[in-house]
Amino acid sequence: MSSAFDVPKAVDKRLSTMAVDELAKRGMRTVKVLDKASIMSLIDEAVETVVADRLAELKADDRERLREEAKTQFKKLVQERNSRQKEQQEAYEERIENLRAQAVSLEEKLEEAERQKDEISTEVEETPVVETVEVPASPSLDVDQIRDVVREAVAEAKTEPAEVASGSQMEDLKASIDALANKVVQGAAATSSKHVEPPSEDALMALFSREGDEKVENNLDQVEIKNAKAGGVAANLAKLKNLQKETE
Amino acid sequence: MGDFADYARKDFDKKNVVASANNEEADVQFNVEDAKAFSAEETVATTAGTDTSAPVVTTSSTPVTLGRGLDVGTANLVSSFQDNSGNVNLKIQRNAFIDIDCDDYTRNMLTRLGVQYVVVNGRMVVVGDPAFELANIFNRNTRRPMKEGMISPDEADALPIEKMLLETLLEKPKQPGEICYYSVPAEPIDADMNVVYHQGVFGGLLKGLGYEPKPLVEGHAVVFSELAEDDFTGIGISCGGGMFNVCVSYKSIPALSFSTSRGGDWIDRNVASVLGCSASRACGLKEKGIDLTNPQGREEEAVEIYYRNLISYTLKNIKERFESSSSMPSFPEPISIVCAGGTSMIGGFTEVFQQEFEKIQFPIAVKEIRLAEDPLYSVSKGCLVAALSESV
């Protein structure tokens, strides 16, 4: 293939600049202006016309030769593209394998955490101490880190292959990564929510109903607080009780 | 269970009270005939005397009926009990404190002046109304154990102080396990907040005092105290310092309860911001006796603007919630809306509420909008009604 001819550059190279005063000295009062875009457009038109004329004049042999050259070039490009695609597929498959291994490891850790939680719950039920409502997480289970890794992998899987492949293989690959990521993220999220699960209302009540050991200095019992009297609630009460009887 | 929320939920489920969000008559599954059977005239007490079925305990001072009500409000704590004459007795404490330097002189002076204090972490903490007055004098802000209707996460000293305030408001139960209904906010629709912790903390504090604590949603308490004449059917709104709590009730059964996270404190903060003063001072300005229908001067105008905005905001939220709810009943007759709570006590509140109400297409037919008989005590009285009804 011949190298491309840079028309705008060639035009610029041949341009010469002249001051308006110089033109005036030469007796030129008006000039006809042709902008650069118009020049390019004219050149395009001229080239297209010439090429069309020449192609019509080509002999059958020349046409065949041209077709073969184009076909060879096209095949070469496709091979290069497929090779790149294959390399990327292999990389993604390797990553999937890694993620799969991580998922398996996570599941094992989740099971372990569940086991530990059950053990602690049993202990809590047996011991009337309320502070033990929080479930300690497995120390080796770095959920956020794993989630970040998976998110990065999914983000890459969603952006990179779009440039090189759009076939069903890549879609399958993405779906596989997404499914795997979901599995891992859900597992992590479930662990996370268990980790921060607030204590139950009963546990809180038990915690705050305990008598404090220390005596706090105050004068609350020496000072009368604001009192008031309000209309009775006997009518409301009677009506409510009747209503309750009716509904029972 | 004995818990009103559970009772109501079960009864509501049993009745299958469901209507479509757009209130189409065809979708309504309310048993109206059943409802009509509850005649108001038949059920209302003939006199305003004491309910004789409730047990009475005689103490060294006044004989009282078992059962307590407690309004756990962001701005005020109000406890109530019924004496043997049928009167409702209340104790009120502003839910605020301020810390000052601790020395013997101040300690004695405060007691002589009738000012309550607590010593926490070596600092003297003045509680209640005096804290509010001190804050106004020094243009400081009071510290608040509660924020937006719930225990404040910003106040480390909140819990010991709340515990002591509850002790003075309620005293020891007349009988171990005496029922005490305490108000809790409904789930907010415009904020990501969870009421479980708040409910558990106050339940625990009351249990520690020897009571059997039972939570009651604020709006529902307003229904119990203010809507008896309507067969406990209508909308109760508790306009508090931290939140507005709404409850739609049919025959005492809550069909829908929720809260919005703006209240009187929101007005104070905004007024303080535009006037360049502390929120406590803005609150004092608000409570000095303003008429929202006729604001005088720049300060009162600021209060009026933010009140109107708050009411409008709340009504729009209520409307949206009603329209999106699948459990809204379709009432056979127009209902009443009752507003209670300290934030509703400002002059002209009902008028402004009515004006803002008329600007929106409310999805339920309303016959009247009125203020509670005792706006500040309404929630506590509602809790008391619930407690007395179970203290048999």
Contacts of B118 in chain A (CB under 8 A): 216-218, 220
pLDDT of residue A160: 47
B129 touching A (Cβ < 8 Å): yes
A225 and B168 within 8 Å at the Cβ level: the answer is yes
Angle formed at CA A124 by CA A120 and CA A128, multiple of 5 degrees: 160
Backbone angles phi, psi at B212, to 5 degrees: -95, 105
Q: Considering CB atoms only, which of B116, B129, B385 is closest to A237?
A: B385
Provide, as residue numbers in chain A, all residues whose Cβ is less than 8 Å from the Cβ of B106: none
Residue A200 confidence class, pLDDT cut points 50, 70, 90: low
Asked if B48 has any chain A CB less than 8 Å from its own CB, the reply is: yes
**Gap between the Cα atoms of B72 and B162, Å rounded:** 10
A-chain CB neighbours of B182 within 8 Å are none
pLDDT score of A78: 82
Record: contact A236-B224, CB cut-off 8 A? yes
CB-based contact A204 B201, cutoff 8 Å: yes
Does A32 share its domain with A89? no
Contact call for A235 and B228, based on CB within 8 A: yes
Judged by CB atoms closer than 8 Å, whether chains meet at B118 and A217 is answered as yes
In a domain, A126, yes or no: yes
Q: What is the ipTM of this complex?
A: 0.71
Q: Which CATH superfamily is domain B4-95+144-390 in?
A: ATPase, nucleotide binding domain (3.30.420.40)
Least confident of A187-201, B65-79, B283-297, B365-379: A187-201
pLDDT at B60 over 50: no
Contact B47 A234 (CB under 8 A): yes
Looking at the fold, whether A59 and A151 belong to one and the same domain comes out as no
Say which range, B137-146, B281-290, B351-360, has the weakest mean pLDDT.
B137-146
Are residues A43 and A109 both part of a single domain?
A: no
Q: How far apart are CA B184 and CA B77, in angstroms?
A: 12
Q: DSSP labels for B134-183?
A: HHHHTT-PPB-SEETTEE-TT-TTHHHHHHHHHHHHH-S-SSTTEEEEEE
Decide: helix, strand or coil at residue A29. Answer: coil
Which residue among A220, A227, A243 places its CB closest to the CB of B164?
A220
% chain B with pLDDT above 70: 83
Report domain extents, chain B. Answer: 4-95+144-390
Higher pLDDT, B369 or A34: B369
Q: Is the pLDDT of residue B341 over 90?
A: yes
pLDDT at A195: 43
A171 domain-assigned: yes
Asked if A217 is an interface residue toward chain B (Cβ–Cβ < 8 A), one would say yes
Evaluate whether residue A234 is within a structural domain.
no
Asked if B246 contacts B259 with a C-beta cutoff of 8 angstroms, the reply is yes
Distance CA(A57)–CA(A51), nearest Å, equals 10
- The mean pLDDT of B340-355, rounded to a whole number, is 95
Question: Which of A226, A233, A247, A248 best probes binding to B when mutated, by most B CB atoms within 10 angstroms?
Answer: A233
In this structure, are residues B180 and B387 in contact, taking their beta carbons and an 8 Å threshold? yes
Answer whether residue A244 is part of any domain: no
Tell me what pLDDT residue A140 has: 42
Tell me the C-alpha to C-alpha distance, in Å, between residue B392 and each of A229, B2, B56, B66: 24, 11, 10, 9
pLDDT confidence of residue A203: 63
Q: Do B37 and A246 touch (CB under 8 A)?
A: yes
Write down the pTM of the prediction.
0.59
Rounded distance between C-alpha atoms, residue A213 and residue A215, angstroms: 7
DSSP B108: H
- Asked whether residue A215 is assigned to any structural domain, the reply reads no
When divided into structural domains, chain A yields a total of 2
Shortest alpha-carbon distance between residue B313 and chain A (Å): 31
Q: Decide which of A36 and A168 is more confident.
A: A36
* Closest A-chain CA to B37: A246
* Interior/surface letters B13-26, b for 16+ CB within 10 angstroms, e for the rest: eebebbbeeebeee
Q: Which of A59-73, B24-38, B216-230, B311-325 has the highest mean pLDDT?
A: B216-230
**How many A×B Cβ pairs under 8 Å?**
187
Query: Which domain-ending residue is among A26, A51, A73?
Result: A73
Which residue spans within A71-215 are E strands per DSSP? none
Q: Is the same domain home to A32 and A95?
A: no
Residue of chain A whose Cα is closest to the Cα of B385: A237
A38 and A100 share one domain:
no
Helix axes B279-287, B264-275, angle to 10 degrees: 110
HSE-CB at B184 with a 13 A cutoff on CA atoms is 22
* Most confident of the following: A41-45, A170-174, B16-20: A41-45
Which domain, by its residues, includes A101? 85-206
Nearest to A163 by CA among A108, A81, A79, A59: A81
Whether residues A152 and A202 share a domain: the answer is: yes
Rounded to whole angstroms, the Cα distance separating B341 from B262 reads 13
Domain's final residue, options A47, A73, A99 = A73
> Is any Cβ of chain B less than 8 angstroms from the Cβ of A134?
no
CB contact under 8 A, B120 and A207: no
C-alpha dist (Å) from residue B357 to B248, B316, B368: 16, 9, 11
Same domain, A65 and A137: no
How far apart CA B353 and CA B310 sit, in angstroms, is 10
The rounded distance, in Å, linking the Cα atoms of A162 and A127 is: 58
A242: in domain: no
Q: Does B344 touch chain A (CB under 8 A)?
A: no
- Check residue A147 and give its pLDDT: 57
Q: Which one of B105-119, B141-155, B172-186 scores highest in mean pLDDT? A: B172-186
* Residue at which a domain ends, from A25, A46, A73: A73
CB contacts under 8 A, B 245-284 vs A, are: 251-252
For residue A139 the two structure tokens come to 């120390």
d(CA B21, nearest CA chain A) in Å: 26
In B, residues 3-22, which contact A (CB 8 Å cutoff)? 11
Does the structure show a pLDDT above 80 at A95? yes
Assess whether A107 and A66 both reside in one domain.
no
Residue A80 lies in a domain: no
